[in-house]
Amino acid sequence: MLSIASAATLGFQGPSMLAAPSASRAAAPAMAQYSWSEPGVGATWDPLGLAKTPEKFERLRYVEVKHGRIAMLAMAGHIVAASGYRFPGALGGGVNFADVPGSGFQALAACPTGGLLQIFLFIGFLELRVMKERVKGEFPGDLRNGQFTEGWNMLSESDKIRKRNIELNNGRAAQMGILGLMVHEQLSGPAYVANEALGLPVPF
């Protein structure tokens, strides 16, 4: 929720507004220089006073980046499922993917208990075994663990900041987007209200 709140006022600043990043995560500047709105340093916007230390800031920034990544996947999955695409095969419980209707809550309600267990176990595996920082990263959310350095290390510092900002702001937008789809669907209306307003086909 912090990332959604911060996005409303700060989430869409251009990269040109960013200050230079700190030299390293270990040599972090004073907390007065930290900002929710950018990966580098700048003016602080922390109305609840949660980021009391550099370590706490990094933890909250990592959570924000992680939630943004999940929301981007959720948006992509919602749109793909609403388009009618289905995996071949069946869920646990004998329900074919092709027989799962719609997307979002409608599709979730049609999942059998075995299918929900599959989803839960798969996400748990990713959380506990895959998406972990085993080697200290360059920035919060850097889960490369010492691998895949060639492409990233060839970028300039300004390009690194720009790309991190793109991910951060897209993640914030995706959090608002998936929340909007969920709210509209629960209001007994189409999730894609823009389609309905523009007279375009509504996926479900």
Residue 202 covered by a domain: no
Q: How far apart are CA 121 and CA 114, in angstroms?
A: 11
pLDDT, tens digit (0-9, with 9 covering 90-100), for 172-183: 999 999 998 888
Residue 80 covered by a domain: yes
- 120: pLDDT strictly greater than 90: yes
pLDDT, tens digit (0-9, with 9 covering 90-100), for 55-104: 888 888 899 999 999 999 999 998 888 888 899 998 888 889 999 988 88
The pLDDT of residue 193: 66
Residue 204 covered by a domain: no
Residue 40 covered by a domain: no
Contacts for 176-185: CB closer than 8 Å, 24+ residues apart: 176/4, 176/7, 177/71, 177/75, 178/71, 178/74, 178/75, 178/78, 179/4, 181/75, 181/78, 181/104, 182/104, 182/105, 185/104, 185/105, 185/106
Contact in structure between 63 and 55 (CB atoms under 8 Å): no
User: What's the gap between Cα 200 and its chain centre?
Assistant: 27
pLDDT, tens digit (0-9, with 9 covering 90-100), for 10-52: 443 444 334 444 444 544 444 444 444 554 444 457 788 888 8
Residue 176 covered by a domain: yes
Residue 43 covered by a domain: no
Counted domains in the chain: 1
Residue 19 covered by a domain: no
- 153: pLDDT strictly greater than 80: yes
pLDDT, tens digit (0-9, with 9 covering 90-100), for 139-150: 888 988 888 878
The pLDDT of residue 204: 54
Q: Is 172 left (phi over 0), alpha (psi -120 to 50) or beta?
A: alpha
Q: By residue range, what is the domain housing residue 176?
A: 54-197
pLDDT tier at 130 (50, 70, 90 boundaries)? confident
Residue 26 covered by a domain: no
